Amino acid sequence: MANLLARHLRAAMTDAERVLWARLRKKSTWGLRIRRQVPLGPFIADFACHAARLVIEVDGAQHAEPGGLSHDAKRTVWLEQQGYCVIRFWNADVLRDPDAAAEAVGLAIKQRMRELGRPLPRSE
């Protein structure tokens, strides 16, 4: 069921997710694979880099509402309990400066790999 939903979400990405994905894919993500719409337990992450134990979420306005904030907090707690770090971007910020968002992902990947004591597969 989660895999079918993830497949549907990959086909129906938001504009911000699509723009960020184009940059992350183009950069070959610093030698590490980033996946999109990834089932992780009871949740589906917008993007995840398993090697860096990093989840990248691109949030729309519904995430600022009380129900969205509560749901996101539960997701973050669960993902952190699984050893993932979660970074979030607002849709508007990604659309305004997608290169800055992609650069922030790259910096987060480097930081996570250092924290995990893992070398990056290749230099940039």
pLDDT of 41-87, one tens digit each? Answer: 999 999 999 999 999 999 875 655 666 677 788 999 999 999 999 99
Q: Could you give the residue ranges of the DSSP H alpha helices within 1-124? A: 2-11, 15-26, 66-81, 91-96, 98-115
**Residue 58 forms beta bridges with which residues?**
89
For the stretch 89-104, pLDDT in tens is: 999 999 999 999 999 9
- Would you say residue 1 has pLDDT above 70? no
Level-2 CATH architecture, domain 2-115: 3-Layer(aba) Sandwich (3.40)
For residues 28-34, average pLDDT: 76
* pTM score: 0.82
What SS3 class is residue 107? Answer: helix
DSSP state of 31: G
